Amino acid sequence: MNEYGTLHESNGRYALRFERYFTHSPEDVFLIITNPSDFTQWYPFATGEMDLKIGGKIAFDDGEGTTYSGTITELEMPYVFGFREIDDLINISLQEEDKGCRMIFTHTFTDDSWAVNTAAGWHRCLDVLGQIVNGKPIKWNDNSAELREVYSEAFNV
């Protein structure tokens, strides 16, 4: 399966979409995605503060003095987790497939000037999420430049 993300435009908004297949049940993957201590290991700027309910807050800290919160907008255990982070929307859905599940991760935003960097960043983050789901030690690959090149070509920018 191609693990590279795709970029879609609709009504002046853009969506980066990634798919990953896991050999684990949606329940197991959902628990990892929504567990605050696991979330901080793969999701940028997450602090580990998460009130897991519709309208619940997720705290973020960019490490440079800016703190902000996201709001959980969708929560259907164990299949859908969505939240608004500033003006961006994150949606993670899990679908049962074979003996595991397919995760569809979508980041919707307005400013496409950061699409290549954002895609490269999410690609790396989702690689780490896969390591966590599969019980492997976390290793951040030093492949940002290569991924930016791939996404720059794919998005024609």
CATH number of the domain at 94, please: 3.30.530.20
**Position 65 in a domain:** no
Is the confidence at residue 2, as pLDDT, over 80? no
Residue 68, beta-bridge partner list: 60
Work out the average pLDDT over 53-79.
Answer: 97
Closest CA to 141 of 153, 125, 155: 125
pTM of the model: 0.95
Tokens (6 digits) for 108 = 């919707």
The pLDDT assigned to 127 comes to 97
Residue 137 within a domain: yes
Parent domain of 19: 6-45+77-83+90-154
End-to-end CA distance of the chain: 24
Is 53 inside any structural domain?
A: no
Q: How many domains does the chain have?
A: 1
Classify residue 31: in a domain, yes or no: yes
Residue 71, domain member (yes or no): no
pLDDT (mean) for 67-87: 97
Flag whether 66 is in a domain. Answer: no
Q: Is 64 left (phi over 0), alpha (psi -120 to 50) or beta?
A: alpha
Query: 113 in a domain, yes or no?
Result: yes
